[in-house]
Structure 1
Amino acid sequence: MDKNQLGIQYMEEGKWEEAATVFMEAIEEKPEDPTSYINFGNVLSVVGETEKALKFYEKAIKLDENAAAAYYSAGNLLYDLQNFQEAKKMFETAMKKGMESGDNYFMLGLSLIAMEQGKLALPYLQRSTELNENDAEALFQYGLCLAQENFIDESIIQLKKCTQIDPNHADAYYNLGVAYGFKEEEKQALQYFEKALEIQPDHLLAGYGKKLIEKGTAE
């Protein structure tokens, strides 16, 4: 096992110091290999050393301008810092450099949503669900974005897929309740609000939705 593989194993085990040590050794042994800089940057990002992490991603890009993983990792970091415009640029560049991953499309979509460009986000979120068919969160965000753009029936399909993969996704059930409420199918809406509350009894929005439906049917 080479040092980058060993370092990734340490990261998976939550052994950040060991991972950092191994990646630094890998950089010293092969200073022209961008992979080690990306991996070390990922460790720094996890432990909150964001500025240092960005410098390591920049170093990787200087060594190899086609290092798609460096753009993707930098994008994730910038997204967490709520610098959505720059994050979007990084995810777009990763895509142009050949990164055909569901995660990259997903994060590009989320960046666009954060910038209130939901319609532009839809194709990227759709692609993320095609590449990661069993990713409940990707299906949820795609369904949510569809609903926000008034594609209610399409939204329901994606939210139901989400609950099939993650039967405890309270927010997906809540948004199904909202969608059926929008369609004036109160019985279905009530069932989904109740399901959300069954999973998460303190789900305030689901509780409010349930009260509205009950009040409406009682009148």
Structure 2
Amino acid sequence: MHSKTITMFLSVALLSVGATACGNKGKGKTQSPEQAKASKEAMLNPELATKAAKEDFAKAAKSYEAAKKDGKLSPAECEEQSAKWMQVYKKHGKQMAVAYFNAAAVWEECGDIEKAEKMYLQMTKEVPGYDMSYNNLGVIYWNRKQEAKALSYFKKAVEVNPRTNAPRNNLAAALRDRYSKTPDQKDFEAAEGHIQRVLAVDSNNRVAYENLARLYYDRGRLKDRSYLVLANLVVTQGIKVLKEAGLQSADLYNLKGLLLMEDNNQVEALKAFKKAVEVDPNHADANLNMALLAIRFRDFENGEKSFKIAARDRRHAKNIETFLGLGVAQRGLRKYGDAEKSFHKAEKLDSKDPRPLFNLGILYHEHLASQDDIDLEGIKKHYNTAKDYFQKFVQKAGNDKKYAASVADAKNRIEQIEESFRTWAEMAELERKAKELEELQRKQEEEEKKRLLEAEKRALEAAKRAEEAARKKAEEAAKKAEEKGGEAKKADEKKEK
């Protein structure tokens, strides 16, 4: 990660009315050599402008501050405030070049970069000696990633005003950034020279300390690790000097954290990043670095918060690391829907990077599939999705050595998923056979029950028939006995007669 120290200026500080000034440049009048010299000096130092010019500047500044009371300018206010600054310039000429500059800067503040750009370009023609118009054009082109064009405008700003500090710092930052991408000794020496020149005339210049520390840090990473020691010295000295001046630098604390990371001192590095964020809560690089460490310590809540702050920055909004880390933090917080969106965002930012695919696979394999309220069919669905992501990851990662361990892990997970499906298939087959056996046993039991019932029925019927036969037999015996008794009685009666 690297911080681009590119600054914008809107000079609205009320100027002292009591400063000495040369005559005002009247419309249609020529200036003496002394007046011309004074006008040029006032162009670069508005404190030397005429009393009337400074009074009009103060009025415009007061109007601007009043319009900004609610925190922003409406479209109508943008038009009005820019026009008021231009009126000051047109009335007082080049000694109020800062007013011309502010007229353009208002449009930049209002978000109309194209309109601001046109005004800055026109200003370089009308007031070619004013350094800040070149500086802000450089910033505009830098933000458009037109680095070479931006560099040329920063150089021009320094050429027209060798005493300037802010454009010189920006020139050094641009040279340093180019050096960090393609290390060239000339860029390193030029950047170092510009920074040292700023510090020679302004020993409390925060941006210069930040640029020099970063320059040495980059050289230490890329070329000569002894420069990391120099970077640490600059950071330490910068923090001390700024503290004595009542100032602080989030960039220097962020660099301190990066230097500690070089020594693998993660705990102290995290403290440094936290200090940077304490100084500037919206410091993009420090928030990103802090977030990356936070998820290592499984502090997912603070990690998510810091990643989101980092993502507001134009550079980190296009940085795949931001959204990979955010997805990991959200996954750790069980915000699975948000995590999936973050991983897909990372995938869109760099379609060649296979890591989003791996993380999506982990999301489905380890997290979505293991939720408490999910059934087997849901698990199978998530496993299939995970397998698909892992296969795509392996294919995209190819033979890249830096992904070798993750590729091996992904292949192992694919095998685990396939083994799970084989196990589930075997279990399903066993369940099917168990059901068949259960059904067979049920049928056999029903048949046996039916057989027994039929046997019982037959036995009952046989007993009933036997009982009926015995009854009939008894009835017949009784009848015969009765008949026999009747015959005996008749015989006895016969004997008595």
Same fold judged by TM-score > 0.5? yes
The aligned counterpart of 1:51 is: 189
Tell which has more relative contact order, 1 or 2 (C-alpha 8 A, sep 6+). 1
Aligned partner letter, 1:21:
K
Q: Does the aligned pair in 2 maintain the 1:112–1:118 contact within 8 Å? A: yes
The aligned counterpart of 1:5 is: 132
CA 1:139 to 1:19, structure 2 compared with 1: closer, same or farther past 3 Å? closer
CA distance in 1: counterparts of 2:196 and 2:317, whole angstroms: 41
Q: 1:22 aligns with which of 132, 140, 157?
A: 157
CA 1:107 to 1:133, structure 2 compared with 1: closer, same or farther past 3 Å? same
Aligned partner letter, 1:88:
N
The aligned counterpart of 2:288 is: 140
Q: CA deviation at 1:17?
A: 2.8
The aligned counterpart of 1:95 is: 239
CA distance in 2: counterparts of 1:113 and 1:80, whole angstroms: 14
CA 1:24 to 1:146, structure 2 compared with 1: closer, same or farther past 3 Å? same
Aligned residues: 212
CA distance in 2: counterparts of 1:136 and 1:41, whole angstroms: 21
The aligned counterpart of 1:174 is: 324
Q: Does the aligned pair in 1 maintain the 2:131–2:167 contact within 8 Å? A: yes
Bigger mean CA deviation after superposition, 187-196 or 75-84: 187-196
Aligned partner letter, 1:76:
R
The aligned counterpart of 2:264 is: 116
Q: CA deviation at 1:47?
A: 5.6
Q: Does the aligned pair in 2 maintain the 1:179–1:189 contact within 8 Å? A: no
Q: 2:229 aligns with which of 65, 85, 94?
A: 85
CA deviations over 1:13-56 (Å, ceiling 9, x no partner): 444334323313422xx5xx766764553454456522122123
Structure 1 length-normalised TM: 0.71
Aligned partner letter, 2:234:
M
The aligned counterpart of 1:214 is: 364
Question: Within 5 Å, which residues of 2 pair with 1:61-72?
Answer: 61-72=199-210
Query: What is the CA RMSD across the aligned residues, in angstroms?
Result: 3.6
Question: Within 5 Å, which residues of 2 pair with 1:145-160?
Answer: 145-160=293-308
Bigger mean CA deviation after superposition, 153-162 or 84-93: 153-162
The aligned counterpart of 1:130 is: 278
Q: Does the aligned pair in 2 maintain the 1:75–1:90 contact within 8 Å? A: yes
Q: CA deviation at 1:137?
A: 4.3
Structure 2 length-normalised TM: 0.36
- Structure 2: state its 5+ residue gaps: 1-42, 45-129, 142-149, 180-186, 222-226, 370-382, 384-419, 421-497
CA distance in 1: counterparts of 2:136 and 2:176, whole angstroms: 17
Q: CA deviation at 1:95?
A: 1.7
CA deviations over 1:127-160 (Å, ceiling 9, x no partner): 3323433445432221112223454443344335
CA distance in 2: counterparts of 1:4 and 1:88, whole angstroms: 32
Q: CA deviation at 1:74?
A: 0.9
Q: Secondary structure at the match of 2:248?
A: coil
CA distance in 1: counterparts of 2:328 and 2:140, whole angstroms: 40
CA 1:25 to 1:167, structure 2 compared with 1: closer, same or farther past 3 Å? closer
Q: Secondary structure at the match of 2:161?
A: helix
CA 1:112 to 1:191, structure 2 compared with 1: closer, same or farther past 3 Å? same
Q: CA deviation at 1:109?
A: 2.3
Q: Secondary structure at the match of 2:357?
A: helix
Q: Secondary structure at the match of 1:77?
A: helix
The aligned counterpart of 1:76 is: 214
Aligned partner letter, 2:275:
R
